[in-house]
Every structure is written in structure tokens, then in C-alpha cells.
């Protein structure tokens, strides 16, 4: 959506529901993430969780203790 003048944050809030961003005074409609996005997100989450469960450095030790109880 292109406008002749810059839109303010207050005006953006008045537009109601919808996925929009305000970039340099211009309202940009956002698309919802699709299937590919979800698959990539799930894969990254799986890899990260595998790493945290296998490697036991000091910074993730508390994570393992919390989830070992469940």
C-alpha cells in the first residue's frame, strides 16, 4: 500500500487488525508465513534441541536438568 504522505504510528494503530508494518512512513502489508516457513522453523528447532540435549556445556546444563524431570 503506497500513500501520498507519511503515515504515523498512531494512524497505523487506528487501522485495526491485520499484519502490517510501518516502514519510513509507508504501510507495508505482511504475508502470513506458509508451509515452507513452518518446515524450516521445525527443522531448525529440531537441530537446536538435539544440540542442547547432546552437548552438556555449562550454559545449557540447567536446560537439561529442567527437562530431565518431565
The pLDDT of residue 8 is 87
Give the SS3 label for residue 28.
strand
Q: Where are the domains of the chain?
A: 1-56
Q: What's residue 54's pLDDT?
A: 76
Tens-level pLDDT at each residue, the chain (70 residues): 554 688 888 888 888 888 888 889 898 988 888 999 999 999 999 999 888 877 766 555 555 555 665 5
Contact 22, 9 (CB under 8 A): yes
This prediction has a pTM of 0.44
Amino acid at each position: 500500500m503506497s500513500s501520498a504522505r507519511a503515515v504515523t504510528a498512531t494512524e497505523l494503530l487506528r487501522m485495526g487488525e491485520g499484519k502490517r508494518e510501518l516502514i519510513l512512513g509507508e504501510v507495508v502489508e505482511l504475508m502470513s508465513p506458509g508451509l515452507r516457513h513452518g518446515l524450516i522453523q521445525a527443522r531448525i528447532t529440531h537441530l537446536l534441541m538435539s544440540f542442547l540435549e547432546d552437548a552438556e556445556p555449562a550454559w545449557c546444563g540447567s536446560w537439561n536438568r529442567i527437562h530431565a524431570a518431565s
